[in-house]
Amino acid sequence: MINVHVLNGPNLNLLGRREPEVYGRHTLPDIERMVRERAEALNVSVTFRQSNHEGHLVDWIQEAGAQGAGVVLNAGAYTHTSIALRDAISGSATPTVEVHLSNVHAREGFRHRSLIAPVSVGVICGFGPRSYVLGLEAIHRVLIERAQQAKPSTH
């Protein structure tokens, strides 16, 4: 079974209350339900976590890499500042899709630069909670393709 870790960074525990005009009214548990529903349809096992602490996210990325799992990561503000998260992704060789609820490119200039994007397989932003579902679908496809490539040819 394919395993995906959906990891959430700082302040995402405040979704639904924090700047609803930017992030919407869905809570993180709402998003988790949406992701789990789609994961069940895809036959994907999901580990869903949130932390306001950078070190926890680093540990979880490394854990996912050790398990051969994929990662859907909303690093929140750490997206723009964390060399540690970037190094955890590249060092663990964990295929990662970066996601954001809002379109970060339509916001403040400091949000336009991601330290994580260059070591991720892709970035999805601006679709609200659907960004997570799209991220799950994307990493699912990446993991399937990598598994197929790893199989020895029968020819």
Residue 23: active-site member: yes
| 102 labeled binding residue | yes
| 120 labeled binding residue | no
Catalytic: which of 5, 26, 78, 100? 100
Residue 78: active-site member: no
Half-sphere exposure (Cβ direction) of 116: Cα atoms closer than 13 Å:
31
| 59 labeled binding residue | no
| 18 labeled binding residue | no
Catalytic: which of 5, 23, 78, 132? 23
DSSP labels, 77-108: GGGGT-HHHHHHHHHHT--EEEEESS-GGGS-
Residue 131 phi/psi, 5-degree rounding, is: -55, -35
Annotated catalytic residues are 23, 100
Binding-site sequence positions for substrate:
74, 80, 87, 101-102, 111
- Known binding positions: 74, 80, 87, 101-102, 111
